[in-house]
């Protein structure tokens, strides 16, 4: 394991106000996104949409890398260039989702455990040869009546840590994503408590598995009221709770934090990220950036709608959305920048 190489890749991914584009949707999930804009879920349509995203000129000014799905890393664009090479040529680092999905946790109704450890060492070696230099594993934590349980916390933290150790053995930077879902009626205080506990357990297991934290990225949930909560905290409150949670739980040696959007609107995800960075002081030890999927892709997908004549404008919208989040990662976003686009 080359610690220096891992650290360099991790720093390149989260430094300088750049973030990470998540386009690791499975084939069925990608199909749902395409169906929303009236596009059939065919091999060619998925290829063309991913080519639109990964080939957008100027995207690398704001986006350092992209998380791919297994199908994508094995696919070439219409001209025959493999997507990892498309990314490298466009100034971005290829990444790969390696978990096989969240499944029902036996004996724990309403809770999930993420699978995919079997055969992971061999898959990581193959992905490395295909150009991947970072990976992602997503765990799902649900807040509800009597949950999360100890078994859910511990099972998912252990799996994330074992995955991370295997990644680093393969020379691949692990992104660990313990997503606390926004579904439900809980308030921001309950979300704070669960997120703190989730991260505390996670880093205990990462230390136990001897994961090199400067060569790791945390993909974190913001601390928010649930979607069906009667109250909605303002942007400043979300930023205050989120920063307090992170400072209480995340070791200073972690290379960086990249937030997931979790179903927030594209603009609200940007506003929250911006306020978090505005409130962060000189004692905040890590760069704080974004790793968004729909909150980056949404405007581009809607405009493209499967029509070749719409590609250029869809790419402009993607680059703009990425630039807004890059500004937010520096605490420099202004709403009038969006209104002028």
Active site residue 177: yes
Per annotation, catalytic residue among 25, 111, 177, 271: 177
Q: Which two tokens stand for residue 172?
A: 């691949």
How far apart are alpha carbons 268 and 301 in whole angstroms?
18
Distance in Å from the first CA to the final CA of the chain: 45
Q: What are residue 20's DSSP bridge partners? A: 65, 291
Cis peptide bond upstream of 148, omega within 30: yes
Report the sign of the C-alpha dihedral through residues 15, 133, 92, 289, in that order: negative
Strands 217-220 and 134-141: unpaired
Q: CA-to-CA distance for 24 and 13, rounded, in angstroms? A: 17
Please give the structure tokens belonging to residue 190: 């309950």
Q: How far apart are CA 139 and CA 177, in angstroms?
A: 6
CA dist 298 and 318 (Å) reads 8
Encoding tokens for residue 78?
Answer: 């219409």
The angle subtended at Cα 165 by Cα 160 and Cα 168, nearest 5°, is: 125
Q: Are the beta carbons of 127 and 172 closer than 8 angstroms?
A: yes
Candidate list 25, 111, 219, 275, residue with the active-site label: 219
Strands 19-23 and 63-68: parallel
Q: Are strands 134-141 and 93-97 parallel, antiparallel or unpaired?
A: parallel
| Residues that are catalytic | 177, 219
């Amino acid at each position: 394991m080359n610690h220096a190489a891992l650290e360099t890749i991790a720093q390149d991914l989260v430094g300088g106000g750049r973030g990470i584009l998540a386009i690791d949707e499975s084939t069925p999930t990608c199909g749902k996104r395409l169906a929303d804009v009236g596009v059939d879920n065919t091999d060619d349509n998925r290829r063309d949409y991913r080519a639109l995203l990964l080939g957008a000129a100027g995207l690398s000014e704001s986006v350092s890398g992209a998380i791919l799905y297994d199908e994508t890393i094995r696919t070439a664009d219409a001209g025959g260039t493999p997507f990892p090479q498309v990314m490298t040529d466009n100034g971005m680092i290829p990444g790969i989702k390696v978990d096989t999905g969240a499944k029902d946790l036996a004996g724990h109704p309403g809770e999930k455990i993420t699978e995919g450890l079997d055969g992971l060492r061999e898959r990581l070696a193959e992905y490395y040869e295909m150009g991947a230099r970072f990976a992602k594993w997503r765990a799902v934590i649900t807040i509800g009546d009597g949950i999360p349980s100890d078994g859910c916390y511990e099972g998912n933290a252990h799996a994330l840590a074992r995955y991370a150790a295997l990644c680093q053995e393969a020379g691949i930077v692990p992104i660990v994503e313990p997503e606390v879902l926004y579904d439900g009626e809980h308030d921001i205080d309950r979300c704070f408590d669960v997120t703190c506990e989730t991260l505390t357990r996670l880093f205990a297991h990462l230390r136990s598995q001897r994961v090199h934290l400067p060569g790791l990225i945390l993909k974190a949930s913001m601390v928010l009221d649930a979607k069906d909560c009667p109250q909605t905290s303002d942007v400043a409150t979300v930023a205050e709770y989120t920063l307090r949670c992170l400072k209480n739980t995340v070791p200073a040696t972690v290379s960086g934090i990249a937030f997931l959007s979790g179903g927030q609107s594209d603009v609200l995800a940007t506003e929250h990220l911006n306020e978090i960075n505005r409130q962060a002081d000189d004692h905040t030890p890590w760069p704080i950036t974004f790793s968004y999927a729909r909150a980056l892709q949404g405007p581009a997908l809607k405009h493209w709608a499967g029509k070749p004549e719409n590609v250029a404008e869809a790419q402009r919208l993607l680059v703009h959305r990425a630039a807004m989040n890059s500004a937010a990662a520096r605490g420099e976003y202004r709403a009038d920048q969006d209104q002028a686009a």
